[in-house]
Each structure stands twice: as structure tokens, then as C-alpha cells.
Amino acid sequence: MADYRTVKADSLTSVVRSIVRAGGSSDREAGLVAVNLVEANLKGHDSHGVGMVPRYIDAMKEGGLQINQHVSVVMDGGVMLTLDGNVGYGQVMGHEAMELGAEQCIGHGLVSIHFVNVLARPIVAPFGGRDARHGTNPFCVGIPRPGKDPIVLDFATSKIAQGKTRVAYNKGEQLAPNTIIDNHGNPSTDPRFTVIEPSGAILPFGEHKGSGLALICELLGGALSGGKTLSGKTDGSRKVINSMFSILIDPAKMGTGENLAREMESFVAWHTASPPAEGVDHVKIAGEPEREWKKQRLAEGIPVDPTTWREIVAAGAKVGLDNAAIEKLAT
């Protein structure tokens, strides 16, 4: 990986925190954003990590991202809450929403289910379609395991997350076949069609199944939550608005906590005991690969490709941080 920067997690967190803070955010907000982004890199998801900073800064300067905002309660029905994120940083809004809903779910023994939609430039084609009609619309589930690492399932309903196409584009790499289509609706492996105009689209995972789940995320995450759905082309701005419909379940109050713990361990043991396929070390559960990546990158540092690093430095310059200041923080 010639010309890559390898930066320790603490140093990279300092870089991001300083850029976000220079944009006007409070220390708390800058810290929440920085820690969240670097955590994504640590877990091997560079698509959702520090490479997002340039877009955040652009959106902030355009006015599509508001700094130092907090969630406000639209409706409190006791067991149901409707919250407004006020176009603030998602890392802050998500944190505060979960504090109100149940503090941080898995850490307090709660099962959580989340349906998310994405209001930005359409980037994913529906099954059978030839152009982009919705976002990557993630679906997420977290299940605590007493005394063990939790099960965490979090995936885009597209074949590949949009951020992963940006990473491939910055690295000069091609995508796997049957992942995206070009601006004419034809198969392509060139990630430029999901990063710069003229744009194509990412295909849904699992054909009609991923497309169907994306539709559900759009309707539950966007409409049922009180937000908006993606209907029509956007104005070309850099802002990204997410809405989320979440279900939090306390197994103890359901009277099934002990049963969940017992049956979960039994099934996980059965699931992971499957003989591994050729080239596979062992059968894993959701969340395990991320924990392995984190252990490795905490020890070795986080690699950042040259294009992404230049974009981060340029984002810093837009809020008054020069290259020397960023380099000092990165060492």
C-alpha cells in the first residue's frame, strides 16, 4: 500500500475532532463525531469512517448540516417517542435518541431493531430498474449476550455501501461485476458512476429481497417515523438526511430474557459449528469480523489512502486548519 498513511486511532481521532471543532462544533459534538467515525475505520468499514469528513464540512458550509444541535421531543407517549434531529450531526442525534429511548441499547440489555432511510442523491436502483431511485437504506439489529460480545447486524440494502464505492474510486480500484450499473443502466465495474456525474446506480443485494427491504426501510424509516421519503431528484447539495424508525425491546420485561440467553447460546453454537468452507477459517456471527478488524487496527494503525487523506486535509483548510496543524495531530 504505497503512499498510504497509517495513523494510530488516537491520532486520527484528534485530526477529525480538530476539523469538526474548527467548523464551530462544541468539544462534545466534535468528540462524538470523531470517535464514531474512527470507530468505523477500526472495525474495517472505511466507507463509513473518516473519509466522510469532507462531505460533512461541505454540507455544513452549505447550510445543509447544522452544528451544535440536539434532538427535540415531538411526541412522548411513554413507551413511544417521536424525535426531531434538527438537521444536526447524526452521531450526536443517534446518541441522544438512544439515551432518551433506553440509554445505549445493548449496554442496557435491550434488543434493538432499526429501519433507516437516506435523503440525498438517489444512488440505488430498485430490482428490475435501470436508474437510481432510493438510498442505501440500512437495516440494523443489536442483540446483547450476557457476559459475551453482542450480536450486531448492520447492513445496507444495496449490494455494496455507497461509501465503499467512494473508497474504491479514491484507491483507483474496480468494483466486482454485477454490483453497479452506469448512467445508461448497463452493467459496469467503474466506481465513478456512483461518485461523480453522470451517475448510475448500485444494485440491491439479493435482487428482489434487498429491494423489498429497502422499500420497507424507506416507508418505516422515512414516513412512519415522521420524516420524508426520497421522491425525485435532489438539488445537488452535499447534505444527507437520515430518518430512523427504531424498536427497543426489554427481554426481561417480556419475561423471555432467560429463554433468549439460553436459546441464543444454543443456536450460536450450532450455527458456528458448521464445517468451514474452503478458504474460511471458521463460521462467524454478525459483529465478529468487526471486532477482529478493531483488534488488528488498534495494534497496527488505520491505513488511509492518499486521495482520502488529501480530501481530509482540504476539508481542514476550509475551516481554517492548515496542513501543518493536521500533520502534527496525525503523528
Grid cell listed for 320: 481554517
Say what the pTM is: 0.91
Catalogue the E-assigned strands of the chain: 5-7, 72-76, 81-84, 111-119, 139-145, 148-155, 180-181, 187-188, 201-202, 241-249, 302-304
Grid cell listed for 206: 439479493
Please list the residues that pair with 82 across neighbouring strands: 75
**How high is the mean pLDDT in each 10-residue block of the chain (331 residues)?**
86 98 98 98 97 97 97 92 96 93 80 96 96 97 94 97 96 97 98 95 97 98 96 84 96 96 97 97 96 98 97 98 95 90
Q: SS3 of 212, please?
A: helix
Q: SS3 of 198, please?
A: coil
Helix (H) or strand (E) holding 324: helix 323-330
Rounded CA-CA distance 302/81 in Å is 38
Grid cell listed for 3: 503512499
What is 255-312 written as a DSSP string? T-HHHHHHHHHHHHHHHHTSPPPTT-SS---TTHHHHHHHHHHHHH-EEE-HHHHHHH
Contacts of 39 (CB under 8 A, 6+ apart): 294
Closest to 45 in 3D by CA, of 209, 140, 155: 155
pLDDT given for residue 180 in this prediction: 98
The whole-angstrom distance between residue 330's C-alpha and the CA centroid of its chain comes to 23
Rounded CA-CA distance 232/245 in Å is 22
pLDDT given for residue 3 in this prediction: 82
Give the length of the chain: 331
Backbone angles phi, psi at 118, to 5 degrees: -130, 120
Q: How many other CB atoms are found less than 10 A from the CB of residue 1?
A: 10
pLDDT given for residue 1 in this prediction: 54
User: Among all chains, which residue has been given the C-alpha cell 445493548?
Assistant: 106
Q: Helices 323-330 & 9-22, crossing angle to 10 degrees?
A: 150
Grid cell listed for 233: 431528484
Please list the residues that pair with 143 across neighbouring strands: 151
Rounded CA-CA distance 134/117 in Å is 8
In words, the CATH class of domain 1-75+301-331 is: mainly alpha
Structural contact between residues 157 and 204, judged by C-beta atoms closer than 8 angstroms: yes
Contacts of 207 (CB under 8 A, 6+ apart): 127
Grid cell listed for 254: 417480556
